[in-house]
């Protein structure tokens, strides 16, 4: 017993000494670690305590009833808005919509919907899914869903009702122009998967065209399959990769797609964040499948994020020619973090840099103006970089194409016709009158005449920039007391202008034909038909074909 006591006492002393040593090490480390951040931790703790007390008092004592969840959601949203537009809180109710953005999948009927007046309408069914297979058409008005009125419901409210577990039933009461009485459509929801490759085909001899809608999970494999199939049908001599209006998505998918064209071992993009674990290099891991295939990438001002990684790396490594308009300029990387109660936080964790070393982020959210607004980085602050072949490129404002095509600014007439849904309604009536349509349809002169006649009793108002300028001049001349002297000449000018304005439909015939061609053909061949029809009018695509058919120009643009 004595011996046991001695050993027990020694062991206890050893443990106590070990505890003291460990405590000393921990306290020393903590002291070193907190030298620069203890004040920050104190501020966090203090302000959380203040917020907790304020939130409690507000919900307990405010004169009217409050919604605690809504109050918290607004406070979180306003806090995150002060950082950047991409750092967002995703409550449980919005998780499915967020997952659709990253996977392209959801459970529902498979249709785009739109609000008009008091009701929600089917805008475009997705080909091959429940809505289209059950016979729903663009222009159908949804009167009831599962026996309950859909009147005055928003598109968000209707969308939530239409979405649900695949296999569950949904009933719609539909009103259609060509049918005298409303009718009921009952069908099952299903798993809807929107293919990231929205269209692919040969468009000129041996040149392939592929339109990539977004960078959702698996899009790299979809794109690879599409290009391989095109090449198997007819050997490709060039490829047009259309990333216009592609908002981006998953970074890994963009790296895999760039690797289709870029040599193994090449740096495609690297990320840098506040935390060292976000300092990563993304290297091409495989041999390129289409190493020597001449390539043109199309971008515009809504091509963002992953679209800019692909187009930027292709440009920096002089692997292909970029055509179109300057891209959006989003050089920030987001990650999602799990939060309690099935909610998530999507937050910006790093900036990305393409092979030349440039970051193409256009807006500096860390340096705001006094009023809280942010502006784009001034041209004078842009830094020059070089592509592999020595061409000049710049940071701080998106990807500037090697060939910049002219901007398409819709005139106010076109905006007004679109706003009043007159293109949409004419196409709906056209579909009712014509059961069939060839897939190479282009609006004829007779169809255009029919459209102008269709507009004769429709209301659509618009003012041109010329008209606005004339009215401004009139008001200014009155203010400065010149109007009485020029009134007669002014009225003559105004009358001549109005006479000329009557011919605006003919002046804009080409763009009207383009819009109506796409709108009408989508009633028969859906999204693929709309894209195919648009290629007949697409100046960017025509320029891309011209470059790919001229090897000398292609090499010259890349400084080869």
Q: Which residues pair with 190 in a beta bridge?
A: 108
Distance (Å, whole) CA 420 – CA 460: 7
pLDDT at 37: 53
Spatial neighbors of 251 by CB under 8 A, at least 6 apart, are: 269, 271, 282, 306, 309, 333, 352
In the structure encoding, which two tokens stand for residue 290, read together? 């289409």
Largest CA distance in the chain: 124
Please say whether the beta carbons of 251 and 335 come within 8 A.
Answer: no
Average pLDDT (82-111) is 89
| Residues labelled as active-site residues | 305, 316, 330
pLDDT at 159: 93
In the structure encoding, which two tokens stand for residue 436, read together? 């069939």
Distance (Å, whole) CA 528 – CA 531: 5
pLDDT at 205: 83
Q: How far is CA 540 from CA 243, 388, 404, in A?
A: 12, 25, 9
Distance (Å, whole) CA 81 – CA 92: 19
Asked whether residue 27 carries a pLDDT value surpassing 80, the answer given is no
Average pLDDT along the chain: 90
Percentage of the chain modeled with pLDDT above 70: 93
Band of residue 417 on the pLDDT scale cut at 50, 70, 90: very high
The number of beta carbons lying within 10 Å of the beta carbon of residue 308 is 28
Q: How far is CA 95 from CA 77, 163, 333, 520, in A?
A: 16, 13, 20, 35
pLDDT at 289: 96
Identify the DSSP state of 189: -
- The CA angle 467-472-475, to the nearest 5 degrees, is 130
In the structure encoding, which two tokens stand for residue 208, read together? 């392939």
Asked whether residue 413 carries a pLDDT value surpassing 90, the answer given is yes
pLDDT at 116: 94
In the structure encoding, which two tokens stand for residue 456, read together? 């004769």
In the structure encoding, which two tokens stand for residue 408, read together? 């398409």
The helix/strand count (H/E) of the chain reads as 18, 21
Report the predicted TM-score, pTM, of the whole model to 2 decimal places: 0.86
Q: How far is CA 154 from the centre of its chain?
A: 22
Asked whether residue 309 carries a pLDDT value surpassing 90, the answer given is yes
pLDDT at 488: 87
Band of residue 38 on the pLDDT scale cut at 50, 70, 90: low
Band of residue 13 on the pLDDT scale cut at 50, 70, 90: low
For 245-279, what is each residue's pLDDT tens digit? 999 999 999 999 999 999 999 999 999 998 888 89
Question: Would you give the end-to-end CA distance of the chain in angstroms?
Answer: 91
Q: Which of 44-53, 245-254, 490-499 is least confident?
A: 490-499
Q: What is the 3-state secondary structure (H, E, C) of 88-149?
A: EEECHHHHHHHHHHHHCEEEECCEEEEEECCEEEEEEECCCCHHHHCCCCCCCEEEEECCEE
Asked whether residue 25 carries a pLDDT value surpassing 50, the answer given is no
Average pLDDT (9-14) is 48
518 half-sphere exposure, CB direction, 13 A CA radius? 15
Average pLDDT (340-349) is 93
In the structure encoding, which two tokens stand for residue 136, read together? 């729903």
Percentage of the chain modeled with pLDDT above 90: 73
Asked whether residue 106 carries a pLDDT value surpassing 70, the answer given is yes
102 or 431, greater pLDDT = 431
Spatial neighbors of 523 by CB under 8 A, at least 6 apart, are: 137, 138, 427, 428, 430, 431, 437
Average pLDDT (103-122) is 93
Asked whether residue 5 carries a pLDDT value surpassing 80, the answer given is no
- The CA angle 153-154-157, to the nearest 5 degrees, is 80
Band of residue 517 on the pLDDT scale cut at 50, 70, 90: very high
DSSP-derived pairing of the beta strands 384-386 and 183-188: unpaired
Distance (Å, whole) CA 140 – CA 431: 12
Run of H or E including 5: helix 2-33
In the structure encoding, which two tokens stand for residue 559, read together? 């400084």
Distance (Å, whole) CA 124 – CA 114: 9
For 149-203, what is each residue's pLDDT tens digit? 999 999 999 999 999 899 999 999 999 999 999 999 999 999 999 999 999 999 9
Asked whether residue 9 carries a pLDDT value surpassing 70, the answer given is no
pLDDT at 50: 94
Three-state secondary-structure class, residue 175: strand
Asked whether residue 21 carries a pLDDT value surpassing 80, the answer given is no
Distance (Å, whole) CA 87 – CA 51: 21
- The CA angle 173-176-180, to the nearest 5 degrees, is 95
Band of residue 468 on the pLDDT scale cut at 50, 70, 90: confident
Q: What is the DSSP string of 315-348?
A: HHTT-SEEEES------EEEEEEEETTTEEEEEE
Q: Where are the alpha helices (DSSP H) in 455-538?
A: 465-479, 483-501, 504-507, 509-534
Distance (Å, whole) CA 79 – CA 145: 37
For 279-305, what is each residue's pLDDT tens digit? 999 999 999 999 999 999 999 999 999
Distance (Å, whole) CA 199 – CA 240: 12
Please say whether the beta carbons of 522 and 529 come within 8 A.
Answer: yes
Distance (Å, whole) CA 269 – CA 354: 5
pLDDT at 94: 86
Average pLDDT (228-245) is 97
> How buried is 24 (Cβ within 10 angstroms: 0-12 exposed, 13-18 middle, 19+ buried)?
exposed
Asked whether residue 410 carries a pLDDT value surpassing 80, the answer given is no
Go through 469-507 and write b for each residue having 16 or more CB atoms within 10 A of its CB, e for each that does not.
eeeeebeebeeeeeeeeeeeebeeeeeeeeeeeeeeeee
In the chain, % helix, strand, coil (3-state, to 5) comes to 45, 20, 35
Q: What is the dihedral of CA 54, 57, 60, 64, to 10 degrees?
A: -70
């Amino acid at each position: 017993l004595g011996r046991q006591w001695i050993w027990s006492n020694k062991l206890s002393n050893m443990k106590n000494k070990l505890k003291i040593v460990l405590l000393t090490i921990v306290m020393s480390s903590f002291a070193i670690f907190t030298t620069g951040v203890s004040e920050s931790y104190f501020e966090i703790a203090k302000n959380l305590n203040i917020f907790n007390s304020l939130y409690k008092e507000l919900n307990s004592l405010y004169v009217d009833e409050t919604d605690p969840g809504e109050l918290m959601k607004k406070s979180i949203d306003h806090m995150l808005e002060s950082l950047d537009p991409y750092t967002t809180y995703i409550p449980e109710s919005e998780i499915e919509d967020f997952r659709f953005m990253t996977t392209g999948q959801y459970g529902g009927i498979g249709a785009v919907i739109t609000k008009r007046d008091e009701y929600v309408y089917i805008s475009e069914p997705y080909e091959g899914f429940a809505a289209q297979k059950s016979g729903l058409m663009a222009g159908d008005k949804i009167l009831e869903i599962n026996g309950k009125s859909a009147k005055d419901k928003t598109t968000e409210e209707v969308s939530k009702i239409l979405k649900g577990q695949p296999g569950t039933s949904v009933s719609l009461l539909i009103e259609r122009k060509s049918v005298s009485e409303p009718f009921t459509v009952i069908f099952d929801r299903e798993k809807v998967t929107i293919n990231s490759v929205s269209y692919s085909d040969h468009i000129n001899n041996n040149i392939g065209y592929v339109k990539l809608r977004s960078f959702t999970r698996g899009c790299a494999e979809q794109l690879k399959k599409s290009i391989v199939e095109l090449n198997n049908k007819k050997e490709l001599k060039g490829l047009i990769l259309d990333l216009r209006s592609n908002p981006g998505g998953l970074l890994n998918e963009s790296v895999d797609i760039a690797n289709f064209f870029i040599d193994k071992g090449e740096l495609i993009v690297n990320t840098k964040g506040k935390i060292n674990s976000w300092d990563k290099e993304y290297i091409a891991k495989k041999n390129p499948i289409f190493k020597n295939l001449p390539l043109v990438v199309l971008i515009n001002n809504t091509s963002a994020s992953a679209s800019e990684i692909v187009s930027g790396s292709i440009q920096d490594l002089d692997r292909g020619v970029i055509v179109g308009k300057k891209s959006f300029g989003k050089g920030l990387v987001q990650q999602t973090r799990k939060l309690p109660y099935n909610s998530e936080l999507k937050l910006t964790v790093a900036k990305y840099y393409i092979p030349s070393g440039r970051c193409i982020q256009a807006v500096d959210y860390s340096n705001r103006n006094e009023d809280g607004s942010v502006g784009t980085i001034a041209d004078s602050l842009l830094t020059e970089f070089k592509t592999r072949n020595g061409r000049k490129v710049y940071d701080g404002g998106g990807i500037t194409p090697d060939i910049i095509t002219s901007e398409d600014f819709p005139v106010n007439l076109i905006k007004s016709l679109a706003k009043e849904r007159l293109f949409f309604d004419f196409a709906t009536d056209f579909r009712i009158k014509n059961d069939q349509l060839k897939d190479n349809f282009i609006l004829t002169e007779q169809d255009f005449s029919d459209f102008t006649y269709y507009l004769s009793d429709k209301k659509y108002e618009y003012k041109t920039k010329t008209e606005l300028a004339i009215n401004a001049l009139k008001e200014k001349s009155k203010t400065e007391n010149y109007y009485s002297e020029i009134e007669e000449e002014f009225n003559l000018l105004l009358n001549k202008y109005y006479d000329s304005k009557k011919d605006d439909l003919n002046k804009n015939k080409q763009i009207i034909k383009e819009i109506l061609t796409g709108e009408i053909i989508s009633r028969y061949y859906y999204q693929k038909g709309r894209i195919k029809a648009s290629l007949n009018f697409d100046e960017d695509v025509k320029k891309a074909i011209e470059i790919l058919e001229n090897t000398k120009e292609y090499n010259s643009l890349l400084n080869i």
